[in-house]
Amino acid sequence: MSALVTQDPTTSSADFSLARLLHMLEGHDEKALVIEYAGRRIGRGYHVTEVKAGSFVTLDCGGNPDAWQETVLQVEDISAESERTFMQVGKFTRILAQVDRKIPLNGDARVTFEVSRPGEPMQVFDLDQLAVDEETVVLQLEHRSAICKPRHRAAQQAVSSGCCAPAAKSPCCS
């Protein structure tokens, strides 16, 4: 029987913080960690090639400043020989603990995945869902799309205020 942990429909994938992910992985150290992205399941020989602690300061198209932190997990999707198995959750969390000892990671940071096969362009994903069964923990990723933040904020405010009137002119610069 599988337990599926999904996002609250009022939140976005951006709300998966490093601390939340690590908390959800607790107690599953011996299980296989499987990643699903772009309609495929990652190869059993996948490799966490880099962990980045990123701080971003931006200005959106409406002239609004923003700042946030991300923990970026770069993963190479390598198909392995038949004797390889998926990385165990415990090894994955030990990798993150080792990084944290050398480069402090912010538990509140948004989790981002960069995934590619050798020789292919890297793709950026957010963690959408986490499913757990007796033998595996599956991280289900979704593509991260570019958005116009002012328009997105305006749409969210309209939904939260119950507004159903036609949208006003976009607050974007374009």
CB–CB of 56/68 below 8 Å?
yes
Least confident of 136-140, 155-159, 162-166: 162-166
Q: Which residues contact 173 (CB under 8 A, 6 or more apart)?
A: 61, 62, 63
Helix (H) or strand (E) holding 87: none
Q: Which residues contact 102 (CB under 8 A, 6 or more apart)?
A: none
DSSP string covering 53-74: EEEEEEE-TTS-EEEEEEEEEE
Task: Report residue 12's pLDDT band, with 50, 70 and 90 as the boundaries.
Answer: very low
How far is Cα 109 from Cα 112, in angstroms, rounded to an integer? 9
Q: What is the pLDDT of residue 173?
A: 58
The pLDDT tens digits of the residues spanning 75-110 come to 999 876 667 889 999 999 999 999 999 999 999 999
- Mean pLDDT for 51-73 is 95
Task: Report residue 8's pLDDT band, with 50, 70 and 90 as the boundaries.
Answer: very low
Binning the chain into helix, strand and coil, the percentages to the nearest 5 are 20, 35, 40
Q: Which residues contact 125 (CB under 8 A, 6 or more apart)?
A: 37, 38, 112, 113, 114, 115, 141, 142, 143, 144
Least confident of 5-14, 41-50, 63-72, 100-109: 5-14
How far is Cα 147 from Cα 170, in angstroms, rounded to an integer? 13
Least confident of 31-35, 41-45, 168-172: 168-172
The pLDDT tens digits of the residues spanning 126-148 come to 999 999 999 999 999 999 999 89
CB–CB of 117/76 below 8 Å?
yes
How far is Cα 142 from Cα 111, in angstroms, rounded to an integer? 12
Where along the chain do its domains lie? 11-161
Q: What is the pLDDT of residue 154?
A: 87
Task: Report residue 66's pLDDT band, with 50, 70 and 90 as the boundaries.
Answer: very high
